[in-house]
Chains A and B, each alone.
Chain A
Amino acid sequence: MAIHLIRPAVLVTAGTILLAMAGGPVHAQQSSPAPAATIPHTAKGKPDLSGVWITGALQLLIGEEEAAAYRKADAEAGRPMFRREPPPYTPVAEAKRQEYLARRGIDDPMARCLISGVPRITTRPLPFEIVQLPDRIIILYEAHHAFRIIPTDGRPHPPDIEPSYLGDSVGHWEGDTLVVDVIGFNTNTWLAGVGTIHSEKLHVTERYTRDTFGTVIYDVTIEDPEVFTKPWLQQEIFRLRPNERLREYECIENNEDLIRFEKLLQTEPIYTRPTVR
């Protein structure tokens, strides 16, 4: 089902970009983006999404000052403030989410270093790199050393999908928007925060639209007839980080959370009652 939030077209002029860049942040590692006002395209004529990008809670990754500069640039460029809709859970699923919240998120799979699924892995405060090839797009995530290979040569989902954290992705272009269809998830991930559960019937549709040189609009439609009463819509803005590189993030090295969780689960009344699972 092709459902996505209707977004007013963002008219970006060279002057707007220069204005945004002039007010852009100065960071210890990150100089201003290269002054290229045009969106790069591949030989096939499609927008080239290649590059290192960040999104989600920017202030955690680049500091509040620089994140605020991005928000200021958004306002000056007339970017809309995206809606944040609560998950449209069925009463049963919402009751489960509330219980996870009451348990203060101690059940978060991510805190146990399990790979985040889609779209949560995208919104982690860690960069990811998109590598666009003629027949496929590869996304490398700093979080969990994870990667996705997204065929764009017209092939369908394979018949032998095993449920997995990141599911199975296939992509195609609708105009200048990359549309990625993702199915085949396991249930070991949360979608976008504490208790945002789903079933194996989860179906995620991602739309990547490079609307300026420095940004991609990321529209996500999350469908799951087991837990949602209607599709759950999310939007984010990716920010290009031309001078950034992916680093290593090894989650399990010294994850003291695991030890503390065990103690808390045994000693704190709020955690020792029966779980929702």
Chain B
Amino acid sequence: MAERVGVYICHCGSNIAGTVDVESLAQWAKDTLDGVVLARDYKFMCSSLGQELIEEDIKEQGLTRVVVAACSPHLHEKTFRKACSNAGLNPYLCHMVSLREQVSWVTEDKVAAFEKAKALLAAGVRRVHLHEELEPTEVPVNPNTLVVGGGIAGIQASLELADAGYPVYLVEREPSIGGHMAQFDKTFPTLDCAACILTPKMSDVGGHPNIHLMSYAEVEEVTGYVGNFSARIRKKARYINEADCTGCGICIEKCPKRVVDDVFEVGLGYRKAVYRPFPQAVPKFPVIDREDCTYFERGTCRACEKFCPTEAIDFEQVDEYVDLEVGNVILATGYDLFDCTKIPQYGYGRLANVFTSLEFERMCNAAGPTEGKIVLRDGVTTPKSVALIHCVGSRDKRHNPYCSAVCCMSALKFGHLVMEKTGAEVTSFYIDMRPLHKNYEEFYDRLQQEGMHFVRGRVAEVSDAARRPGEEGKLIVQAEDTLIGRQRRIPVDMVILLGALQPRADAKETALRFGISCSMDGWFTERHPKLDPVATMTDGLFIAGTCQGPKDIPDSVAQGAAASARVQGMISVGTVLIEPIVASIEEARCSGCRICNNLCPFNAIDYLEDKAVSTINAALCKGCGTCVAACPAQAITGAHFNYDQITAELEGILFDAPRGNGRHARRLEPALEPAS
């Protein structure tokens, strides 16, 4: 049966029509290409009027194939497939040709652009003749969700899902949830206490019937596909039996071993070998750190065991593995603070009174190592002057080229806290002040009024080498005050470095484990930077908070909520359609060589021992085509990308290439020409 093809050429305003003569292209298609019964050009094919045009033509002109030459299929393939479907045509009989991304945006020469548009259109029309009707597979969505990371973003996502009535597994690497926010003292710009607004949410998580919290645990492996993931969780041995522990804390009190706490107290304070990171920790159960514990080191002590009233200490405990079935995953794994020793001219690690922003947060926190007193490294002296250095490791090609987004506001907050608690003079050294969100500019205004000093200039160096009278015994901050064009040396007692927010050191491995991608910097990549910021290119996998990029608490909370809303949508529909563009194996031709089995990046191919052939799990297959290309027997076919379809497309590209011996489709060299 001869197919009746409709061709639709989109102007995309002037995006395409400004470069490609769309009217002549439509006329050429109608006059030249096989089976084209009508060819139209239209201002915006993606508008509802444009879509209706296609629908009417299918019904009235009896079209059996549709080709839309417009933007990239990434943007509107779904739109036009749906239009076809509305008119009763199988959506996979529609094909998109990218005239915008592949022609008008990348080709300035109008003649060359027209020739290239012809070739791509010819390819699309030849290919669409061979399209087959395909039907998506429907699979159920497991209502359980795995949330990875118990910082504020993960907490928000978990609570919203749980409150909506859906089960959540929240996995946290540290002994307690809370994340970086739990380390903070106050939050900008309202200055409410971080713990006061965070700990209620933490206890909600701890007590929620729909949340299964697994702290001190990590995700080892994830398999499966949207709606049906399996995850293996490793619960690290706590050496404390959670069922028996009442969280009374006697073990911590009796433990004789005190060590520097590098994680929660960022090296500024101490903890015991058996510890809870902070008093409001959720869950309340402590952890025995095997590395630090005297018993594990020398085989004696067991003080905690002797004093535990419920006999909850268990030195024989081992790591435990738990397998979970979930429908969706939300990653909220957070950030690491920049290693400030990498900028030696600021003296961190060498000059005692240079602190990082996180150290300062802990110092300011009433539950921290100094009980909230702002003091120098000697632990007693109150500083009379403090310098705040912005952009430490941010906006710097040598470290991180991006702006870390929160440091300006943190600096303002620190300035307020220092002045309030000590009355010290505070000077901020900034490149550009970026208080971007609601009520942030007003906070900047407030700090100016409170008497904080601002010097526009990136600090050159911090030194203890006195040069002028008044500098002895001080840290001298040297910078150009760019607003007056003069070098200044400002002696202070304390320097606080606003270190950059960086991707987690293991972000790349995490991305690999969950099958998503990272940007060059190492942040997890969203599906679309503006329109789909919490989804990823992997269906059923969502991201929230700072693992996606630097952001503050309000934005992290918003993303946590957004990711949860996306998951709730999936669960409430209950099923998900799996694209039918998958590979399949023709059993008769399969030799059982198993080459494809290990090549599949999605582990979608199984080997059937009894039949001695391989088979593809359509639900796991993403249609990437790796196995199709690799099969030595050509036993694997990719639906929608079979040999005949691709050959036809190539022939179309080469429509005006010199022909000879009937082998024109094999002659690939001229294909390079029409494009230029």
Query: Do A and B belong to a common assembly?
Result: no
